[in-house]
Chains A and B, each alone.
Chain A
Amino acid sequence: MTDILKDGPDGLTNPIETDYEIGRDNIQARVGPFGLDIHNPVFLISGLTIVAFVLATLAWHDEVEPLFNHLRVWLTSTLDWFFLSAANVFVLFCLVLVVSPLGKVRLGGTNAKPDYSYSGWFAMLFAAGMGIGLMFFGVAEPISHFSSSLGGTAVEGGVRTDWAPLGAAAGDAEAAARLGMAATIFHWGLHPWAIYAVVALALALFSYNKGLPLTIRSIFYPIFGERVWGWTGHIIDTLAVFATLFGLATSLGFGAEQANAGLDFLFGWSVTDTSKILLIVGITAIALISVLAGLDAGVKRLSEINMVLALALLLFVVFAGPTLELLGGFVSGLGAYAENLIPLSNPVGREDANFSQGWTAFYWAWWISWSPFVGMFIARVSRGRTVREFIICVLLIPTVVCVFWMTVFGGTAIDQIVNDGYQAVADADLELKLFAMLEHLPLTAVSSIIGIVLVIVFFVTSSDSGSLVIDTITAGGKVDAPVPQRVFWCTFEGLVAIALLLGGGLGALQAMAVSTGFPFTVVLLLACYATYKGLASEPR
């Protein structure tokens, strides 16, 4: 790194001097009538290995599924301390940056102007980052932790067999609700957003300020130097494509099953392979229209629609549900989170192994496996923000929104169980809990339709932003590669989802995608160090 400061209309940055030219390893090929501009070899290797994995899984899914599930369980139960400690490091790293003088560094140069308004920016990072999970787990997870806490602890042969967080709250409904809410917020609050923020900040810094291509390998430049342009980097980028595509395709497959179950519950649509495939095709088609319309006219607009719908549903539940209790619940939810944050994030000597490994470590691996995708997308839309602004908007505000969302949806459902004795919401399948909860409120027809539309649009916003990200990585960081390439990735993702849905193996490959969380945890820890070094050399 040199200390030459480039002075221009966007102000000062401290770029990295490297001889690497972006696009140097790209090949401009023609496939039929379409021109392509793809990175050699990342595009081909990731495309072919994905096909190979899908075929192998289709052929031997009964053998492969236990293997990958075993790998995932082994990772999250043996290395739980590692996942938990790493996530704590990410939160602390971000919080330190907010208050440190490094927070003044601006992404893109001292005078750079933000690319997007707060609302557009926030809508996009939220839709890519969590979206769909909030729909399914907003009701399901608080109920689950509430019930297991209420059930108390159970010990067999000196080992806890219950799934309750911490010391549970046997028989005390109020304490169980508090603990359940704290545990849920913990999984959707500071830690996941810190994971995304670390990746996004590193990528934004190394591309906007340091001039390296917008692809995962660039984060490693301070560590591996020029070697990142060789096989070291090819492997990192391929792994990122892999995690993103399998993460997206498998959740699209499961999502189609869930959306189908929802439609069956609401309108009596039968649950068949045909209707699931129609849903995948529909979601992929809307995502295609969105990527063809581009970042501003497609992805951003859809994310904004999404946010308005989500806000409408949230406000509806606030007013239709136990309003005053929910508002109080937000404050007590935050309180419960603050009170239990340290014991819940403690990485060693935990007695609640089922919870800390089966829930927390699993979640952390999951968020981390999504982080290359979400981080890269957030980086793409965050130019012109200061580091402080960036972390407040990517870490703190989403956390508050998630707390509010969880306390409203989970709080309403718990209230229905405790005060109304409405058991249907507790007994419903995971994917139907939201609709069971809405059924107990007025105007079910309208709210359920908004619910199902949101589920579908959230899938579309993940799918379109994911296709953009994969396209950028496989084009060596170029964002202006020919449009047919993003059409290819978007379609490919839908096809992989359909193949796995029909042939079996969604669970296997999802377990494998989550397993990539382990190597990426190491990546993220290194990224913290690289980001600190990179920020320290920037003008403030």
Chain B
Amino acid sequence: MYKHIMVPVDLAHADRLDRALTTAADLAKHYGIPLTYVGVTATTPGAVAHNPEEFQAKLDRFAQAQGLKHGLRPDMVAYTSHDPAVDLDQTLMKAIDETQADLVVMASHVPGLADHLFASNAGHLAMHAKISVFVVR
């Protein structure tokens, strides 16, 4: 059915991702396919990490913890972006290409009025990615 699942994660709000993470892990186990967590950071110090290396280390720890929790051996890739507030969508599109994933599972908020002006990241991917996107709300 699918070959590779990609899960974009926002480490600053990892607590809100539970449903999406469980969904992704269940799908990975169901089809017996690899799962990759993708994180995007700015090069400037931010809430999650002070520099890209620290971010990568945190994402790695996150992936390992998720692996233990769900009995999987997930992968992870950290990307840096000059302006993540705007470039996140393009960075995730690039990640889809580079990880060669064919299914994205990601969390999103319930759409509201603001989404007409500034589309959510999941909304953008669902609209522009060529592969399947599972938006978990």
With A6-B53, A32-B113, A35-B114 as known contacts, state yes or no: A481 contacts B85, CB within 8 Å.
yes
Which residue of the partner chain A has the closest CB to B42?
A479
Q: B53, A10: Cβ atoms under 8 Å?
A: yes
B112 touches A479 (CB 8 A): no
Q: Which of A15, A32, A213, A483 contacts B86 (CB 8 A)?
A: A483
Given the interface pairs A383-B43, A479-B42, the reply to whether A211 lies near B85 with Cβ below 8 Å is no
Which of A94-102, A239-247, A288-296, A495-503 interfaces with chain B? A288-296
Q: Give CA–CA (A302, B46) in the complex, Å.
A: 27
Contact between B47 and A479, CB atoms less than 8 A apart: no
Residues B46 and A211 in contact, CB atoms below 8 Å apart: no
Chain B residues 37-87 with CB under 8 Å of chain A are 42-47, 50-54, 56-57, 82-87
CB of A118 closer than 8 Å to a CB of B: no
**Complex: chain A residue closest to B41, CB-CB:** A480
> A13's closest neighbor in chain B, by CB?
B51
Complex partner residue of A479 from B56, B85, B118, CB under 8 angstroms: B85
* A383 contacts across to B, CB distance below 8 A: 43-44
| Minimal beta-carbon separation of B46 from chain A (angstroms) | 6
Docked Cα-Cα span, A208 to B87, in Å, equals 20
Q: Is the CB of B53 within 8 A of A477?
A: no
Tell me the minimal C-beta distance from B1 to chain A in angstroms: 34
A478/B47 in contact, CB under 8 A: yes
Q: Is the CB of B53 within 8 A of A296?
A: no
The CA-CA distance from A381 to B42 in the complex, in Å, is 12
Inter-chain contact B83/A296, CB cutoff 8 Å: yes
Q: How far is the CA of A382 from the CA of B113 in the complex (A)?
A: 37
Give bound CA distance, A484 to B85, whole Å. Answer: 10
Partner of A295, one of B47, B53, B82: B82
Q: A10-B51, A15-B50, A211-B51 are in contact. Are A380 and B44 (CB under 8 A)?
A: yes
A109 touches B51 (CB 8 A): yes
Flag if B114 contacts A479 (CB, 8 Å).
no
Q: Does A336 contact B (CB under 8 A)?
A: no
Interface string of A1-43 (1 = CB under 8 A from B): 0000010111001010000011100100000111100000000
Map CB proximity to B onto A207-247 as digits: 1 under 8 Å, 0 otherwise: 11001111000000000000000000000000000000000
> In the complex the two chains form, is A208's CB within 8 Å of B51's CB?
yes
Enumerate chain A residues within 8 angstroms of B113, measured Cβ to Cβ.
32-33
Give 1 or 0 for each of B84-109: 1 = CB within 8 Å of chain A CB.
11110000000000000000000000
Residues 107-137 of B contacting A (Cβ, < 8 Å): 112-114, 117-118
Residue A63, interface by CB 8 Å: no
Chain A: residues with CB nearer than 8 A to chain B? 6, 8-10, 13, 15, 21-23, 26, 32-35, 108-109, 115, 207-208, 211-214, 292-298, 380-381, 383, 477-484, 486
Q: Are B51 and A33 in contact (CB under 8 A)?
A: no
Evaluate contact between B45 and A211: CB separation under 8 angstroms.
Answer: yes
The contact of A480 among B52, B84, B117, by CB within 8 Å, is B84
**A-B pairs with the 8 shortest C-beta distances?**
A8-B53, A294-B86, A211-B50, A23-B47, A33-B114, A33-B113, A295-B83, A294-B83
How far is it, in angstroms, between the C-alpha of A122 and the C-alpha of B83 when the chains are bound?
18
Contact flag A293-B52 (CB < 8 Å), given A22-B45, A480-B42: no
Pair B51/A480 contact, Cβ less than 8 Å: no
CB <8 Å contact, B114 and A10: no
Report the bound CA distance from A294 to B87 in whole Å: 7
- Given A208-B44, A477-B45, A483-B118, A295-B86 contact (CB < 8 Å): yes
Beta-carbon contacts under 8 Å, B3-61 to A: 12, 42-47, 50-54, 56-57
With a cutoff of 8 Å between Cβ atoms, the chain B residues found around residue A380 in the complex are 44
> Do A22 and B114 have beta carbons less than 8 Å apart?
no
Given contacts A294-B87, A482-B118, 5 further A-B contacts (CB under 8 A): A13-B51, A109-B53, A115-B43, A208-B43, A296-B87
Rounded to whole angstroms, the CA-CA distance of A32 and B118 in the bound complex is 14
Contact of A207 among B45, B84, B114 (CB under 8 A): B45
Best-surrounded residue of A292, A294, A484 (most CB of chain B within 10 A) = A294
- Rounded to whole Å, the gap between the CB of A209 and the closest CB of chain B is 9
Contacts of A213 in B (CB 8 A): 44-45
Query: Distance (Å) between the CB of B130 and the closest chain A CB?
Result: 21
Task: Name the residue of chain B whose CB is nearest to the CB of A7.
Answer: B53
Pair A23/B46 contact, Cβ less than 8 Å: yes
What is the CB-to-nearest-CB distance from A529 to chain B, in angstroms, rounded to a whole number? 22
Q: Is the CB of A22 within 8 A of B46?
A: yes
Bound CA span A213–B87, Å: 20
A216 to B117, alpha carbons, bound, how many Å? 31
Closest chain A residue to B112, Cβ basis: A33
Complex CA gap A39/B132 in Å reads: 38
- Docked CA distance A130–B100 (Å): 45
